[in-house]
Amino acid sequence: MLPIGDNNPTKHIIKPYVTYGLMIACIGIYVLEIALGTRFSQQNIYNFAVYPALFTNQATAPVGEVFPYLRLVSYQFLHGDFWHLAGNMLALWVVGDNVEDALGHTRYLAFYLLGGIVAALGQVYFAGAPFTPMIGASGSISALFAAYLMMHPFARFILLFFFFPITVPAIAFFGIWFAQQIFGLIGPATSNIAFWAHLGGFAAGFILAPLMKYRNVPLDPMFAWADFWHRTPTQRRWQQQRRRANKAARIAERANNVHRLNTAKRAPLSPEDADFKADFRAYLDSLMSRQEFEAKWGDGSLTQGRPTRTASSGPHPWGAPEAQADQAEKAEGGQEPEDSQEPEDSQEPAKPHRRRSVMPSSRRKD
């Protein structure tokens, strides 16, 4: 599947001049290699491609090469064949203008080159092929993929699928592309594709895009958590408050779930207890008088702060205290409860009556 277009216009720039310049440079160098022959092309690869052995001290740089780290930039403009060039240029054409629109011309060029450098280092230190040269702009374009995904994940891509154009969300295309890179790494090493460079560039773009974009260009809400660097102190404080509120809501929901489970595990009430509970609810709702309730469940059951049943009618469904059961037994035996016989000393003395102040006669009004 090759992307050939999207429905995502630019908003901040008139023309993506840097994208055009990068495409012209890559195409021009490839045409120059074809015009000067295979020998010139091979010489360019030898002089400007990335050899991992040069960065892991397994080989020395050619005589006369002053700074071999320039290869980390020069390799991005070399391509092996026409299809290699065509695939990279199509992808750069589709996603480059929107990323340049979000970053600006200068930052976009720096972002493109930095993504390619990190991609090359990923291939150098993780691929394990020290003497295999690496060329192509796919590492830099992988960084553009990450930036485009964070800003426009649901833009529509036009893909060429077996010579038939189809439209899919950008996030679906990037998901398929990312899965191909993973399967290429874990599968048999029969391809000359630099999968580690692709993943390294994608990781670089994911980190650099929130840092280098314009402040007024928002990331998609799916990736809003990564836009920490461009938030004002007030926005950061609001984010912390939302996090705390969400955490408190999760804790409360978990407590409610635990309470619901504990309630469901309780043993069901017996028929007699259920009858008492229904009658007490009817009393509270004024559907049953107090005399009817006490005649059925025992006198004094409503004077204890909560309904209690006498010993003859069985235990209280919510666990009445033992002291109340003892009082009920003594009441049946004709004995007064101990609590009802209060000593005279325990009675509080009556408070003296306060006289009302009378206005003097001199101040009375006739």
Region 173-199: what's the mean pLDDT?
86
Q: Give the Cα separation of 331 and 340 in Å (integer).
A: 11
pLDDT at 45 (0 to 100): 81
Region 170-195: what's the mean pLDDT?
86
Region 88-117: what's the mean pLDDT?
93
Region 75-79: what's the mean pLDDT?
91
Is residue 320 pLDDT above 90, yes or no? no
pLDDT tens per residue, range 234-282: 767 777 888 888 888 887 887 777 777 666 666 666 777 777 777 777 7
Distances in Å between the Cα of 52 and the Cα atoms of 29, 60, 216, 342 are: 23, 11, 40, 99
Q: Give the Cα separation of 115 and 151 in Å (integer).
A: 17
Radius of gyration from C-alpha coordinates of the chain: 41
Which has the minimum average pLDDT: 13-22, 49-58, 140-149?
49-58
pLDDT at 96 (0 to 100): 92
pLDDT at 306 (0 to 100): 43
Cβ atoms 96, 6 nearer than 8 A: no
Better-predicted residue by pLDDT, 62 or 355: 62
Complete edge-to-edge strand list for the sheet that includes strand 164-169? 2-6, 156-161, 164-169
Cβ atoms 177, 91 nearer than 8 A: no
pLDDT at 61 (0 to 100): 63
Is residue 298 pLDDT above 80, yes or no? no
Confidence category of residue 337, pLDDT binned at 50, 70, 90: very low
pLDDT at 265 (0 to 100): 60
Tokens at residue 44, please? Answer: 């360019």
pLDDT at 9 (0 to 100): 87
Is residue 89 pLDDT above 90, yes or no? yes
pLDDT at 143 (0 to 100): 95
Q: Give the Cα separation of 4 and 17 in Å (integer).
A: 19
Better-predicted residue by pLDDT, 318 or 270: 270
What's the 3-state SS for the chain? CEEEEECCCCCCCCCCHHHHHHHHHHHHHHHHHHHHCHHHHHHHHHHHCECHHHHCCCCCCCCCCCCHHHHHHHHHHCCCCHHHHHHHHHHHHHHHHHHHHHHCHHHHHHHHHHHHHHHHHHHHHHCCCCCCCECCCHHHHHHHHHHHHHHCCCCEEEEEECCEEEEEEHHHHHHHHHHHHHHHHHCCCCCCCCHHHHHHHHHHHHHHHHHHCCCCCCCCHHHHHHCCCCCCHHHHHHHHHHHHHHHHHHHHHHHHHHHHHHHHHCCCCCHHHHHHHHHHHHHHCCCCCHHHHHHHHCCCCCCCCCCCCCHHHCCCCCCCCHHHHHHHHHHHCCCCCHHHCCCHHHCCCCCCCCCCCCCCHHHCCC
pTM for the full model?
0.62
Q: Give the Cα separation of 131 and 138 in Å (integer).
A: 20
pLDDT at 33 (0 to 100): 86
Residue listed under structure tokens 């705390």: 244
Of the candidates 107, 167, 115, 101, the one whose C-alpha atom is nearest the C-alpha of residue 144 is 115
pLDDT at 330 (0 to 100): 53
Q: Give the Cα separation of 72 and 113 in Å (integer).
A: 9
Is residue 301 pLDDT above 50, yes or no? no
- Count of residues for the chain? 366
pLDDT at 313 (0 to 100): 44
Better-predicted residue by pLDDT, 22 or 354: 22
Is residue 364 pLDDT above 90, yes or no? no
Better-predicted residue by pLDDT, 189 or 204: 204
Of the candidates 76, 70, 69, the one whose C-alpha atom is nearest the C-alpha of residue 26 is 76
Ranges of each domain in the chain: 2-230, 236-263, 270-323
- Report the mean per-residue pLDDT for the chain: 77
Highest mean pLDDT among 48-62, 126-140, 229-243: 126-140
pLDDT at 315 (0 to 100): 46
pLDDT at 230 (0 to 100): 64
CB-based burial, 41-78: b 16+ in 10 Å, e otherwise = beebbeebbbbbbbbeeeeeeeeeeeeeeebbbebbbb
pLDDT at 332 (0 to 100): 53
What CATH class is the domain 2-230? mainly alpha
Confidence category of residue 207, pLDDT binned at 50, 70, 90: very high
Region 157-180: what's the mean pLDDT?
88
